């Protein structure tokens, strides 16, 4: 049997500790499957004294991850530190420059520096693997890079953040407000003390930027993505979606258009009978539309120590087998530049909830502004049973729900801006796109 593949693991948090234990527990099976043993021979973490529940007595300790990355004692550097820059970036660059293959779960690092790191890996003829960076246990990176190498992807969309999916699920099932659901998610450890990165869509955007690069051959560029979070969603929106036959999910969507690749993250109404609508709680899912195939949906745990460590180990096993491909499925120099493409005509239409002032002429004014932008309505519902006091307690306001036919994002924004200037609505309109399945 070939010599062992020697790993250096930087970061011994939940994922790193589980990975070390998993490599030890699966030692015999891994050797048989990969044709050579896999061993963790060195580690680096902030505290050497902390009890992590794994046996490290025969493992060399490095205080500095960069020194570990350059060490002649390892073949593969596993980066589980996190963060877009700092020591994580320095260590990965050092490993690649030293001719070490790298496995990382660091979506932030890849979203910010993925193309440069891929080029460095290619120039040194080593692997840069990152299956765990997007959707954890779901093998979406290998599916896009390898499994669908012969298919032209036209659209990719998915639930890429378990925190948001948990909150939306709980809001729908228990009919309770966003803030209360968020607090519960924090109590259970699904959401951070500062949940902004998750609930405002930025975590999803980083993952989408990586997947879009694999799907469409574009450079990883988070700045090219339109991002909108879920903090404005109210139980009334979820109830309306249910009545209309939809469910609300925070989706990351990348679509091939005549003007380039449109990338967006926002709350979306999806048909309740679609595969992705069935995905509840902290679970993730990704649907791929490709020429010659029916839509392909992959579902699984998108976070957690075991799920993420399993994805990391699958990347390590690929290296042990001697497999190496361009990190993003094609040479880094052949990845196309991407710009923030305009939101195109949305074939699924829009859900719009307005708090309209209960007085003569309001409905006519709203209809006029929509008509000016050539927006056709599929349905309009006025919730007279949900009247609320108007601004400063004057008059009454009535929730009005509009469902449009296919129209352009710009047209919707212009029409709603005009309605706002007419002072016939209170507050900010709620707009949710309806995804065509």
Catalytic residues: 207
Beta carbons of 133 and 105 less than 8 angstroms apart: yes
Residue 162 phi, psi dihedral angles, 5° rounding? -65, -30
Per-residue b or e along 171-195, where b marks 16 or more CB atoms closer than 10 Å to that residue's CB: bbeeeeebeebbebbeeeebbeeeb
DSSP state of 81: S
Tell me how far apart the terminal alpha carbons of the chain are, to the nearest angstrom. 50
3-class DSSP state for residue 331? Answer: coil
* Token reading at 139: 């093998």
Q: Alpha helix (H) ranges present in 103-177? A: 107-123, 140-142, 162-174
Residue 434 neighbours by CB under 8 Å, 6+ apart: 246, 268, 269, 346, 348, 349, 350, 351, 403
Radius of gyration of the chain, Cα coordinates, nearest whole angstrom: 24
3-class DSSP state for residue 309? Answer: helix
Angle between helix axes 162-174 and 235-244 (nearest 10 degrees) is 80
Contacts 24+ apart (CB under 8 A), 186-190: 190/162, 190/163, 190/166, 190/282
Distance of CA 321 to the CA centre of its chain: 29
Q: Distances from the Cα of 407 to the Cαs of 28, 221, 249, 346, 350, in angstroms?
A: 58, 27, 21, 5, 8
* Token reading at 80: 């589980």
Per-residue b or e along 361-386, where b marks 16 or more CB atoms closer than 10 Å to that residue's CB: ebeebbeebbeebebebeeeebbeee
Cβ burial, residue 298 (10 Å; 0-12/13-18/19+): middle
d(CA 109, CA 207): 11
């Amino acid at each position: 049997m070939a010599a062992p593949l020697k790993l250096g693991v930087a970061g011994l948090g939940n994922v790193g500790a589980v990975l070390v234990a998993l490599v030890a527990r699966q030692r015999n099976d891994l050797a048989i499957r990969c044709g050579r043993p896999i061993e963790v021979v060195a580690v680096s973490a902030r505290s050497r004294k902390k009890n992590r529940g794994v046996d490290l007595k025969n493992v060399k300790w490095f205080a500095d991850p960069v020194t570990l990355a350059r060490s002649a004692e390892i073949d593969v550097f596993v980066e589980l530190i996190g963060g877009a820059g700092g020591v994580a970036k320095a260590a990965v660059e050092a490993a690649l420059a030293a001719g070490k293959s790298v496995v990382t779960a660091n979506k932030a690092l890849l979203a910010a520096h993925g193309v440069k790191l891929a080029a460095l890996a290619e120039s040194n003829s080593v692997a840069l693997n990152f299956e765990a960076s997007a959707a954890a246990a779901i093998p979406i990176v290998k599916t896009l890079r390898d499994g669908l190498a012969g298919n032209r992807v036209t659209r990719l969309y998915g639930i890429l953040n378990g925190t948001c999916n948990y909150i939306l699920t709980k809001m729908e099932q228990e009919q309770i407000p966003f803030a209360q659901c968020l607090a519960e998610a924090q109590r259970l450890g699904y959401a951070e003390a500062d949940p902004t990165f998750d609930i405002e869509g930025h975590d999803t955007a980083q993952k989408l930027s990586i997947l879009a690069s694999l799907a469409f051959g574009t450079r990883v560029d988070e700045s090219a993505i339109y991002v909108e979070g879920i903090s404005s969603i109210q139980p009334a929106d979820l109830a309306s979606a249910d009545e209309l036959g939809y469910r609300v999910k925070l989706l990351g969507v990348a679509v091939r258009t005549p003007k380039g690749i449109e990338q967006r993250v926002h709350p979306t109404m999806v048909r309740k009978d679609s595969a992705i609508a069935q995905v509840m709680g902290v679970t993730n899912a990704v649907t791929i539309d490709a020429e010659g195939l029916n839509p392909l949906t992959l579902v699984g745990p998108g976070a957690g120590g075991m799920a993420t460590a399993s994805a990391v180990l699958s990347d390590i096993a690929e290296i042990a087998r001697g497999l190496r491909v361009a990190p993003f499925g094609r040479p880094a120099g052949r990845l196309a530049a991407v710009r923030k493409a305009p939101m195109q005509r949305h074939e699924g239409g829009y859900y719009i909830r307005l708090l309209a002032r209960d007085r003569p002429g309001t409905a006519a004014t709203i209809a006029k502004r929509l008509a000016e932008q050539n927006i056709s309505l599929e349905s309009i519902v006025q919730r007279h049973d949900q009247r609320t006091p108007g601004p400063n307690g004057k008059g009454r306001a009535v929730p009005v729900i509009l469902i449009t036919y296919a129209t352009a994002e710009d047209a919707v924004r212009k029409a709603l801006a005009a309605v706002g200037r007419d002072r016939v609505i209170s507050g900010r309109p709620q707009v949710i796109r309806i995804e065509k399945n």
